[in-house]
Structure formats: structure tokens, C-alpha cells
Amino acid sequence: MERKSLEVELSMTTIGIIGAGEVGSQIARAAISQGYSIVIANSRGPETLKNLVAELGPSAHAATAADAAAAGDFAIVAVPLRVVNNMPVEELAGKIVLDTNNYMVWRDGHIPILDSGEKTVHELRQEHLPASKVAKAFTHIQAPRLLIAGRPAGAPGRLALSVSSNFPEAVELVTRLYDQFGFDTVDNSPLSESWRTSPGQPAWNRWAHQNREELTRNLGRARRRRW
Ligand SMILES: NC(=O)c1ccc[n+]([C@@H]2O[C@H](COP(=O)([O-])OP(=O)(O)OC[C@H]3O[C@@H](n4cnc5c(N)ncnc54)[C@H](OP(=O)(O)O)[C@@H]3O)[C@@H](O)[C@H]2O)c1
């Protein structure tokens, strides 16, 4: 695509970001640097995000989670998973939703259906958001590295990130976003396979210090384990 038309397209694309912590705020910075607009939310209300939005500049707005979801052409959920859904289902319906969640028992408590291996974390998120197209994304890169570890396509040593989804169009969107942020993609779909990048697995332990071949190899080295 021509540079000019890509810029026009991006300037018209809004990402709704739910979660304004480490991951949500760094994705917001990376997205704005690539020409996106963002609407960002936390749990305490938009008035608590004044400083962040001022720092992010005119392409950023703060809102409630429901309004951020409604405003986005697609959405990013950067909020730890709860066993009872706490995301705005209706406003996210029909949209691609990138979920950055890692299940951390020490932080989230035990969720039996995940502990038993009956479902993956992101299959559960997909169940919570039945009319959305969920993709697991950005789960094995430390948030601050999003802004410093990217390289142009084809550059030696370009690193790779994985994506999992049950929807090819969601994989395509994440692949494009990763590329814009400076990363290659390894498709680890569907969501039932997404345990391969969960905490403790080789691909997760290496975080974003692996190229496409290394990440592919590490996904193959994963061994299912119960919590
Ligand atoms: N940190 C990393 O480098 C990293 C990397 C990859 C993946 N992850 C995963 O990504 C997820 C987010 O991590 P994080 O480090 O960004 O967490 P964090 O810094 O604790 O931020 C969590 C954010 O979620 C918001 N939030 C919580 N419940 C919400 C709700 N119901 N509605 C709207 N917003 C809500 C919080 O708002 P309040 O502050 O107002 O409560 C906060 O802004 C976690 O699952 C984490 O494991 C983290």
C-alpha cells in the first residue's frame, strides 16, 4: 500500500484499549507512533487518566471501558482475566479483540477450569465475549520493550511474537499490527493451542528475545502442564 494512503487509513483507525497499566499504556504509545488514534480506559474512571492522555497527545482520549470498546474499530484488553466476565460484552460484539492476558495464579487466584487444562485462558475469554473475535497477542513481550525492540521488516535479528485466534481475520490484523510495531509473527492458532505461550513455557520464558525460527521451535518444545 502507498505510504500516503496507509497514513490516511491509520489516521482513521481507532483502537479501544481497556486497561491503562504497563501493557495498555505502552501499546497506546506504540499505536500512536504508528498513526492510530486510541481511546483508553481503566477501572477507576477517565478522570484518573488525565496525565496519561496529556502525555500521549491529541490522538488519545480517556473513557469508560464500555465507551472505549464502543469507540474502537478494534479493541485491546490489557486487563487480567476474571472467572466472571467484567468486560463490556455488548460494546465489543462484532469486533476483533486482542487480549494480552497471562494467567498468573499468584495474582489471579486459581481458576479450576484453567488449572485442569479443560480450557485455555483465551478460550475462556472467547466464551466471555461470544460475539467478538478474540486473539491472544502481546503476551510474551515485556511491555516497555514494545517501543525499543522493534526492527523494520527484513532487518537482521528481527524478533517475532505469537498470535492465536479462532478467526483468520483476527490473525491477519495482529500480524499487520506486529509488523507496524517492528515484529514478525508466528501463528499459533487456534485458541486451544494458545497454552504453548503461557507462563513457564519455553516461548514465554524467552519473552521477545526470539526470531521467527526460534519462536516456532520453542512453541514445538512446549509441554502441557497442570497448575
Ligand atoms: N506487564 C507486562 O510486561 C506484561 C506483558 C505481557 C502480558 N501482560 C499481561 O497483560 C495483562 C495486563 O498487565 P499489566 O502489567 O498492564 O497490568 P497492570 O499494570 O496491573 O494494569 C492493569 C490495568 O487494567 C485496569 N483494569 C483492571 N480491571 C479493569 C476493568 N474491569 N475495567 C477496566 N480496566 C480494568 C487497571 O485499572 P486500575 O488501575 O484503574 O484498576 C489497570 O489500568 C495481565 O494479564 C498481564 O499478565 C503483562
Span 168-216, pLDDT tens digits: 999 999 999 999 999 999 999 999 999 999 999 999 988 879 999 999 9
Kindly state if the Cβ of 41 falls inside 6 Å of ligand 1. Answer: yes
The three cell numbers of residue 24 are 495498555
Ligand 1 midpoint to CA 52 (Å):
15
Kindly state if the Cβ of 77 falls inside 6 Å of ligand 1. Answer: no
Kindly state if the Cβ of 107 falls inside 6 Å of ligand 1. Answer: no
Q: Which of 17, 18, 38, 43 to mutate to test the pocket of ligand 1 (most atoms within 8 A of CB)?
A: 43
Span 18-66, pLDDT tens digits: 999 999 999 999 999 999 999 999 999 999 999 999 999 999 999 999 9
Kindly state if the Cβ of 194 falls inside 6 Å of ligand 1. Answer: no
> How far is Cα 102 from Cα 92, in angstroms, rounded to an integer?
20
At residue 71, the pLDDT reads 98
Going by CA atoms, what residue is nearest to atom 47 of ligand 1? Answer: 102
Q: Please spell the DSSP secondary structure of 82-146, one letter per residue.
A: -SS--S-HHHHTTSEEEE-----HHHH---HHHHTTSS-HHHHHHHHSTTSEEEE-STTS-GGGG
Ligand 1 midpoint to CA 105 (Å):
15
> How far is Cα 100 from Cα 122, in angstroms, rounded to an integer?
9
Cβ(211)–Cβ(156) under 8 Å? no
Kindly state if the Cβ of 144 falls inside 6 Å of ligand 1. Answer: no
Residues in the chain: 227
pTM higher than 0.85 for the full model?
yes
φ, ψ of residue 187 in degrees (nearest 5): -85, 115
Kindly state if the Cβ of 189 falls inside 6 Å of ligand 1. Answer: no
